[in-house]
A = this chain, B = another copy of it.
Amino acid sequence: MTDRFTATYRIETPASVREAADAMAGEQSASTFVDVPGESEELQRRHGADVVDVTELGTTAEPTLPGVDPGSEEASEYTRAEVRIAYPIENVGVSVPQLRTTVAGNVFEMQPLSGIRLLDVDVPDVYGAECPTPQFGVEGTRELIGVHDRPIVGTIIKPSVGLSPDETASLVETLVEAGVDFIKDDELIADPPYSRFEDRVEAVMSVIDDHAEETGKRVMYAFNVTGSVEEMRRRHDVVAEAGGTCVMVSLNSVGLAGVLALRRHSDLAIHGHRNGWGALSRCPQLGFEYTAYQKLWRLAGVDHLHVNGIRNKFTESDESVVASARAVQRPIPGDDGILPVFSSGQWADQAHDTYAALGNVDLMYLAGGGIMGHPDGPAGGVDALKQGWEAAMAGVPLAEYAEDHEALRRSMEAFGTDE
């Protein structure tokens, strides 16, 4: 194992960029308190991380983050730079949790840094070979649903909280009849007292089974299994035994070991929800770029990953959403790209821009209000979404396509089209 893995950061420092990057490489590899007689040089050679690339990005007058080296607090400028550090695989072996510790551990608190964001991580092929990696990915998910050559169109159960299993099933009935391909639990619901997991699965799968018998189409429902490992595995089994095809997990709530344990046990597609991601990403000079973060979850075996949506109702910019979705589709060791999940404020309106940004339809496109709020009801909402994507894929402007597509036309009247 002489391979290396690399981590790319954007840093900000009052010191010399090179010195700061060298300090990072040292801290996260073979650093020591004092010289260890004799061993030092050999140890550095075998285990030391190296700074392999430095690109300065300009300066800023004020530090983004507090706490930089007191000796430098009076600095008149702070340099931003992109730095890439290569670590010997030998330091870690193949371990996604230890990879995270190495590239995204104490380094975030280092005193020379008034900004530090992990932009990307590149792992050698041995990670793809030995990590669980996605079991279904794009093609496997398409097979399970039976939808090819267009986005997988889906929705979310709302209200977020409070529906009984029967009320949920009744809503699912409306939605499957409306023609959705995919439905997911809200992330706020897993196994609360008012909607026990087993009861919800039984009620929902009964509706999905009936619909599959009538129409031949088995809608994918992502049941939220988020919990302890024992709970997740037991709930996975409940879904599998009921004929379900997908489980959802809140990645940041269970962590990498939780997802690894679920994946090692799983026969179903794993839908990765990233709630809590904002805490890791909203300060532009701190935390993670999704390009880096999503790789860890793919190595752990997630098949679908949320990326927000263009013109979403949250705080993320379209540029960031597009970069995230492209990253999720890009091959890494272990998979050839998985499904980005677009959601939040989505309707037909964003189909053209989304298609233009990706150049393909290997994605999940989830709408809530865009389906439930359609003037002709959910069936109109689903039709409008599909028509929006037909227009995008045909290269026909939305307004033109709407001329002879009623559902689309009605949704444009209802939701406006000032974009």
Q: Which residues of A contact B (CB under 8 A)?
A: 1, 27-34, 36, 39, 43, 46-47, 64-68, 90-93, 95, 97-98, 100-102, 104-111, 113, 116, 158-163, 167, 187-188, 190-194, 226-232, 250, 252-261, 264, 275-280, 282-284, 286-288, 308, 313-317, 368-369, 372-373
CA A256 to CA B253, docked complex, whole Å: 6
A45, chain B: closest CB distance, angstroms: 10
A200 CB, min distance to chain B CBs, angstroms: 13
Contact A315 B109 (CB under 8 A): yes
Contact A316 B95 (CB under 8 A): no
* Chain B residues in 8 Å Cβ range of A162: 30, 39, 43, 46-47, 91
Give the nearest-CB partner of A27 in chain B: B160
Selected A-B contacts with CB under 8 Å, 28 pairs:
A29-B160, A32-B159, A33-B369, A33-B373, A34-B369, A39-B159, A67-B317, A91-B162, A93-B193, A97-B228, A98-B190, A102-B188, A104-B276, A106-B278, A108-B276, A228-B260, A228-B261, A229-B257, A229-B261, A232-B257, A254-B257, A255-B257, A257-B257, A278-B286, A279-B287, A280-B280, A280-B287, A283-B286
Complex Cα gap A369–B315 (Å): 44
B106–A187 touching, CB < 8 Å? yes
CA distance A113 to B286 in the complex (A): 18
Report which of B65, B229, B280 forms a contact with A260, defined as CB distance below 8 A: B229
Do A192 and B284 contact each other (CB < 8 Å), given the known contacts A98-B226, A315-B67? no
Please give me the residue from chain B that is nearest to A40 by CB atom: B159
A98-B190, A160-B30, A193-B90 known; A264-B105 Cβ under 8 A = no
